[in-house]
Amino acid sequence: MPADADFYALELLLDDQDQALLHRVRGFMEKEVQPIINRYWTRAKFPHEILPGLRGLGIAGIPYDGYGCPGKSPLLDGMVAMELARTDPSIATFLGVHGGLAMGSIYRCGSEEQKQRWLPAMARMEKLGAFGLTEPEVGSGVSRGLGTTARRDGDDWVLDGRKKWIGNASFADLTVIWAKDVGDGQVKGFVVEAGTPGFTTENLEDKIALRVVQNARITLDGVRVPEANRLQHATSFRDTAEVLRMTRAGVAWMAVGCARGAYEHALAYATEREQFGRPIGGFQLVQDLLVRMLGNITASAALCARLSQLQAAGLARDEHASLAKAFCTVRMRETVGWARELLGGNGILLEHHVGRFVADAEAIYSYEGTREMNTLIVGRAITGLSAFV
């Protein structure tokens, strides 16, 4: 049997109950998702058929207290994200958008009434969420220049603008839209419910990564939302950035899962595939690739585990999450490349799975802050000098 890729047994940092949940997630992903996911990936469709099973796991909004959420540790939250990505990075991303970005925006920035109104149904995944920040003309620079505007009109707000890349938006029940208030120039968050007049979505076609995730362009044309749907504690981009700080750690964990999934498929292949009359895993150069991969995964997972502990202690700062996101995604990209190399030609066939991880890694590498943006956040923290422009 191949050695377990949790080489330093980080799972033992979880108590028995949380380990059991992690194992349920693993069982579900391996049994219900792995056999069908390549078919959906090829067709660029989302497997709605798995939603009842995902709901049953109770893993939406893991770290939030109250409002029907599990109220568990950031470590469990991160390890679950890793576990989902280990079988399929798209499903991990879907949950990251719903439970992390959308629920996190409401949990962090909503009033008590707003949390009561939306979070319990979202925790049960009866209502699905999306998070609309990025725009066609503004990606890395969202803190300086959102083009989407919000104008107060009596008891309502009127939203106008365009968004791009918004995961889940085409089927979500509610989308958090970040827009600039023309009154005071500050960024504010608005919950736009599906079917609101003037809110339209169109899925991006022909992606080469995370094809299962449905990323949409959104057009907001005079969309009216009541003041009651403005997130009451989101008063500037600082609040948006706090949501991203919480979720960036989860993306670092997903990068570990993506790398680990590719590594585990490669390790299994190395013990089965024979050349020159023996398993290729018996060749020194192949073992070198495997050990490099395992080193990357182990270092990244250990770094993420410590980040989760800092989060639990209330000590995690932007630069901590950014270092993890930048470091782990670079190591992930390297690792999936080595896994593909190990499979030879079969590495580019979807049926061997590794090719999907190679492709999906490209999106994880760039979303929720590119390597450059996260590097600039860490660079500013360690030098005291901002090098953003």
**Residues of the shown chain interacting with ligand FAD in the complex, contacts defined by CB under 6 A:** 97, 131-134, 139-140, 165-167, 210, 213, 215, 363, 366-370, 372-373, 388-389
- Whether residue 76 contacts residue 82, with contact meaning beta carbons closer than 8 Å, is answered with no
Q: Is the dihedral of CA 305, 306, 311, 317 positive or negative?
A: negative
Q: What are phi and psi of 64, to 5 degrees?
A: -90, 140
- DSSP code at position 286: H
C-alpha 113/C-alpha 278 separation (Å) is 65
Q: Which is nearer to ligand FAD, 29 or 130 (CB)?
A: 130
Contact 50, 219 (CB under 8 A): no
Which residues pair with residue 215 across a beta bridge?
167
| Alpha-carbon gap, residue 224 to 201, rounded angstroms | 16
What's the min distance (Å) between Cβ of 280 and ligand FAD? 33
Provide the minimum distance between the beta carbon of 270 and ligand FAD in the complex, in angstroms, as a whole number: 30
Nearest-approach distance from CB 15 to ligand FAD, in angstroms: 32
Give the pair of three-digit tokens for residue 239. 């609040």
β-bridge partners, 73: none
Per-position DSSP letters for 70-104, written without gaps between them: ----HHHHHHHHHHHHHH-HHHHHHHIIIIIIIHH
Query: Closest distance between ligand FAD and the C-beta of residue 147, in Å?
Result: 13
Minimal distance, residue 289 CB to ligand FAD, in Å? 28
Spatial contact of 374 and 325, defined as CB atoms under 8 Å apart: yes
Residue 18 or 88 having the CB closest to ligand FAD: 88
Nearest to 2 by CA among 279, 350, 320, 388: 279
* Rounded least distance, CB 215 to ligand FAD, Å: 5
183 token code pair: 């009154």
Residue 114 or 134: the one with the smaller Cβ distance to ligand FAD is 134
To ligand FAD, the closest distance from the beta carbon of 251 in angstroms equals 10
Closest CB to ligand FAD among 26 and 164? 164
Q: Which residues contact 141 (CB under 8 A, 6 or more apart)?
A: none
- One-letter amino acid at 201 equals T
Tell me the closest approach of the beta carbon of residue 369 to ligand FAD, in angstroms. 6
Nearer to ligand FAD, 259 or 326 (CB): 326
Q: Which is nearer to ligand FAD, 269 or 365 (CB)?
A: 365
Q: Using an 8 Å Cβ cutoff, are 229 and 194 in contact?
A: no
Which is nearer to ligand FAD, 140 or 196 (by Cβ)? 140
Q: How many CA atoms lie within 13 A of 169 on its CB side?
A: 28
d(C-alpha 104, C-alpha 247), whole Å: 8
Q: Based on CB atoms, which residue is closest to ligand FAD, 132 or 355?
A: 132
- Min separation Cβ 367 and ligand FAD, Å: 4
Nearest residue to ligand FAD on Cβ basis: 139
Q: Which CB, 308 or 374, lies closer to ligand FAD?
A: 374
